[in-house]
Chain A
Amino acid sequence: MILQILNRTLRVAKALMTPSPANKDVRYEAMHNPSRYRGEHRVDYETCIGCDSCNKICPTHAITMKKFPFKKQNIVPEVSLSVCIFCGLCEDVCPTKPEKSIILSGGRYDMLSGGWHEDQNDFWVHTDVPQSYIDSRLEDEEATRVKKELATKKKVAEAEAKKKAEAGEEIKKVETTLPDFNKGVLE
């Protein structure tokens, strides 16, 4: 009898001493976090060739393509995480090498935890492209465009010059009428 009681107290004491397995705050640290884990997307706008194939294969239409003002390779995927089912097909289908432009594996797992979200925009992977990048792309394109134009201009230079001269005269006429109109309003 006494032995039994002792035995049981010992068992309880042991159980109290062993650390609980539930000692991680899984909001910030996953219990199991493999390298292939399909989490939040990362989009590399510089390598993305704008082929649209991730958008085409997406089974839930979670991807929308963001447009840029320049002409070539001018779309980049943006993902709505509240629609996405994290199947990873967009990553599979991405043709860029060696690094894929859209990657889920190894992505963040805590995107939906960690506090209170009031805005649907919190569940979007937005591709924030700095203005300087857009400007540089525009400049590049402008440069190539100008180069091309100069080449073509040489061929049709004379005819174009004539037309431009005529058009230029017309614009001058319009400009002269405008100040008159303004004066009338002010008086």
Chain B
Amino acid sequence: MENVRKIIENFTCEYVENYKKTWLKAKLSSKDDLLNLSEAIKKEGLRSLSTVSPTDFLEDNIMEMNYFFEDLDTKRNLWLKVDLPRDKEGCKIESLTPLFASANWHEREAFSMFGVQFLNHPDLREIIKSEDFKGVYPFRKDFDWDAHEKNQTQNIQQIVDAFKKEQNENEKDLDPDSSETILNWGPTHPASGPIRLRVHCDGEEVISIDPDIGYVWRALEHLVTKKDFVGAIVAVERLCFMDNINSMVGYCMAVEEIAEVEITPFASWMRVLLGEVARVSSHFMGLGGFFNNMGLHTLGMWNMDTREFFLDFLESYSGARIATASIEPGGVRYGLDMSMFDELQKALDKFDNSVGEVEAVFVKNPTMKLRSDNVGILTKEEVHEFGLSGIVARASGVKTDIRIDEPYAAYGELDLEYITQEKGSAKDRFMMLFLDLKQSVEIIKKAKAHIEKAVADAKMNPTKDHMVKVPKKLPKGEAISRVEWARGEVLMHLVTEEKAKTPYRLKMRAPSFNHTMMLNHLLKGQTLADIPLIFGSLYICQGDLDR
């Protein structure tokens, strides 16, 4: 950490300060230093750029850029800020994509949403937002959404026209005598979900892939700023329905940090418990999805059966199976009725009874191993370069897990170990998912036992301890929080204004965004039949891809 600080102090900074245990926060005085500084810290070892998050300060006429650098090995992180002028001519900064490959799409997103121009970016096209937002920047504070929505028919026509134009022209440059085509994989492909891959292929062979994303863009980061701090959870949880609890945990941690509120031990243990239940229910779908994409639906069905028991517990606790909305700033939303643990025990028993069968039939499946052991290989180096996280990173042997690196809720009290695989192939990612699932179930058991014991010893009151009051108006401030989500690292960057009733800006860095970026890299030179397999193994969810 000291080395990083020394490097930063070589440049003129407004401030350099320690933030949390693993972070350094600094603000550059001039945007011209950015490129040199990032080159220096890349040499020092901070090789991944987690995300780029602009914040639009309308009154100060400033566009504040936030860069989050990470070192997955030594767990040193840097939060770097630099101010840009807000007007469209001056809002320009050097692109970091030549240095950090992971910056590519994040800079494209910042460009589409805020209109920040990145100089020397190799491929600065608009991303995520639909065609009717072309040339306007919807997340800027002076963008008029109401006026935009008034021309709805015209907007839809614009989207249709753009799509037709693309269909007419996408094969224009191809050699008519060759067998090259542009193939649309998705959004109605059974394995794709709402994403479209423009697959440029020559017969069976894939030449390049250009994902078209944004089919489920809901502008969640904007919606959050329209709600109060409690109401925002329903927008945050819609990051992805499969693991909605952990995204709310991340958001609530950021709010609590600004409000300077400490939650009770009961609430933090409940966050662990609920978060792991959500992770389990997500992993069940991921495991099933992997086999579904290979054409075998049995595992998916078996998993759905077991998953239902876990969802029953969530439903008993919160009143809804999927969109639970059960984590609020200040703790967890509901008290716990201890009889609900009987239902959780039922789910755990069901899991213990069925996991052996799943392991024997699917995890040790020789056909699956043959098919997937040599495709979609990600090396350790690529994980660092592209800022991958979660099971995808751990499958390549990189020891990264926010639950251990930067313990939140009650994870610090649990004795967790990194689970990794070596090779980083599609099979390893599947194995990783399965091992992670087993680890999660173990954590649930530990958390459940801990809560039961503490309640029996009268150290926790399950009906009263669940909430601490958080003031409705927060002071001016900003915070970041990271959680280990089912799919990887979620980073929340929350900014509030003085006496704020609503978040001023919430950036949600979602792991699927980075993982989808890998598709072109992984599938180049492979065959068409590998697309669903590799796509399935990357465990992508379109909810957090588009937000």
Contacts and interface: CB of A to CB of B under 8 A. Distances in A.
B228 interface: yes
A125 B318 CA distance: 22
Contacts of B227: 57, 59
B319 A38 contact: yes
Interface stretch (A83-91, A131-139, A146-154): A83-91
A168 interface: no
B251 to A, nearest CB: 14
Interface stretch (B155-163, B165-173, B229-237, B412-420): B229-237
B231 A37 contact: no
A36 B339 CA distance: 13
B395 to A, nearest CB: 35
A32 interface: yes
B319 A88 contact: yes
Interface string A32-43: 101011100000
Contact of A87 (B228, B323, B334): B323
Interface in A18-37: 32, 34, 36-37
A105 B319 contact: yes
A59 B231 contact: yes
B320 interface: yes
A87 B230 contact: no
B316 A85 contact: no
Given A36-B334, A87-B325, A88-B325, A104 B319 contact: yes
B389 to A, nearest CB: 29
Contacts of B231: 57, 59, 89
A57 to B, nearest CB: 5
Q: Is the interface of A mostly helix, strand, loop or mixed?
A: loop
Interface in B201-249: 227-228, 230-231, 234-235
Nearest to A34: B316
A86 B320 contact: yes
A136 B227 CA distance: 38
B315 interface: yes
A57 B230 contact: yes
A169 B509 CA distance: 77
A36 B334 CA distance: 10
Nearest to B321: A32
Given A57-B228, A57-B231, A59-B235, A37 B312 contact: no
B319 A32 contact: no
B317 interface: yes
12 contacts: A32-B316, A36-B315, A36-B334, A37-B315, A37-B319, A57-B227, A59-B234, A85-B234, A86-B323, A88-B320, A92-B230, A92-B333
Interface of A: 32, 34, 36-38, 57, 59, 85-89, 92, 104-105
B230 A32 contact: no
A90 B323 CA distance: 16
Given A36-B334, A85-B323, A86-B323, 18 more contacts: A32-B315, A32-B316, A34-B316, A34-B319, A36-B318, A37-B319, A37-B320, A38-B320, A57-B228, A59-B235, A85-B234, A86-B320, A87-B325, A88-B319, A88-B320, A89-B230, A104-B319, A105-B319
Nearest to A93: B230
Contact of B325 (A32, A34, A89, A105): A89
Interface of B: 227-228, 230-231, 234-235, 312, 315-320, 323, 325, 333-334
A105 B318 CA distance: 9
A66 B355 CA distance: 53
Contacts of B230: 57, 89, 92
Question: Which of B227, B228, B231 has the largest number of chain A CB atoms within 10 A?
Answer: B231
A104 B319 CA distance: 9
Nearest to A107: B319
Contacts of B317: 36
Contacts of A87: 234, 323, 325
Question: Which of A32, A34, A88, A105 has the largest number of chain B CB atoms within 10 A?
Answer: A34
A59 B232 CA distance: 8
A85 B318 CA distance: 14
B245 to A, nearest CB: 14
Contact of A89 (B234, B312, B320, B334): B234
Contacts of A104: 319
A133 B466 CA distance: 40
Contacts of A89: 230-231, 234, 325
B223 to A, nearest CB: 8
B316 A36 contact: yes
Contacts of B315: 32, 34, 36-37
Contacts of A34: 315-316, 319
A59 B334 CA distance: 19
A89 B235 CA distance: 13
A34 B324 CA distance: 14
A65 B315 CA distance: 29
Contacts of A59: 227, 231, 234-235
Contacts of A32: 312, 315-316
B347 to A, nearest CB: 12
B319 A36 contact: yes
Contacts of B234: 59, 85, 87, 89
Contacts of A86: 320, 323
Contacts of B320: 37-38, 86, 88
Contacts of A38: 319-320
A36 B235 CA distance: 21
A87 B333 CA distance: 11
Contacts of B228: 57
Nearest to B235: A59
A57 B502 CA distance: 12
Nearest to B340: A34
A184 to B, nearest CB: 54
A185 B6 CA distance: 102
Nearest to A39: B319
A122 B274 CA distance: 35
A63 to B, nearest CB: 13
Nearest to B320: A38
B344 to A, nearest CB: 13
Contacts of B316: 32, 34, 36
Nearest to A57: B231
A59 B228 CA distance: 10
A12 to B, nearest CB: 20
